[in-house]
């Protein structure tokens, strides 16, 4: 049991955040009061906090991206479900964002679609040939490497 210095009530150790530093210590505020303190600080210093976060992100972009990729990979289902819920709750917002993106990148999208169509047709032709002449296409590719 530990007593919060702000609300003066005793709480179990699990309700205190671990303090930063070398040794294992608990913060002097319970989770509720610590959250309240952080919200007040953010409200009073919004721009300062945002600028610090921008600088940190710029300096640690690769590390943060790798961490996010790892999290998404480990929590694929949870991440997909969250995205589905967002899209369902914000249909118009998502639709408008897609419209703006298409308007700004129309040529790029058309070229990408053409490349994908050509690749799909090529693969389909190879699959059709393989179905008609099993094993011949693989033998031809291995005998004529480019």
Q: How confident is the model at residue 139 (pLDDT cuts 50, 70, 90)?
A: low
pLDDT of residue 4: 75
pLDDT of residue 114: 96
The length of the chain, given as a count of residues? 146
Residue 2: phi and psi, rounded to 5, are: -140, 150
Q: How many helices (H) and strands (E) does the chain have?
A: 7, 4
pLDDT of residue 20: 60
Inter-residue contact 1 to 30 (CB < 8 Å): no
Which contiguous run of DSSP H or E holds residue 67? helix 61-74
DSSP code of residue 6: T
pLDDT in tens, 10-44: 777 777 666 565 555 667 777 788 888 899 999 99
pLDDT of residue 131: 80
Is the predicted pLDDT of residue 79 greater than 70, yes or no?
A: yes
User: 3-12, 46-55, 134-143 — which one is most confidently predicted on average?
Assistant: 46-55
Per the prediction, the chain carries an average pLDDT of: 86
């Amino acid at each position: 049991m530990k007593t919060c210095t702000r609300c003066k009530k005793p709480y179990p150790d699990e309700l205190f955040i671990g303090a930063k530093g070398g040794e294992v210590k608990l913060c002097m505020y319970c989770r509720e009061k610590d959250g309240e303190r952080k919200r007040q600080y953010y409200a009073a210093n919004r721009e300062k906090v945002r600028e610090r976060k921008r600088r940190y992100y710029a300096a640690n972009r690769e590390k943060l991206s790798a961490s996010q990729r790892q999290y998404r990979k480990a929590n694929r289902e949870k991440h997909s479900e969250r995205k589905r819920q967002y899209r369902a709750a914000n249909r118009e917002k998502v639709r408008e964002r897609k419209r703006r993106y298409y308007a700004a990148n129309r040529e790029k999208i058309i070229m990408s679609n053409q490349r994908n169509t050509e690749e799909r047709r090529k693969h389909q032709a190879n699959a059709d040939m393989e179905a008609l002449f099993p094993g011949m296409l693989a033998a031809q590719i291995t005998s004529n490497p480019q």
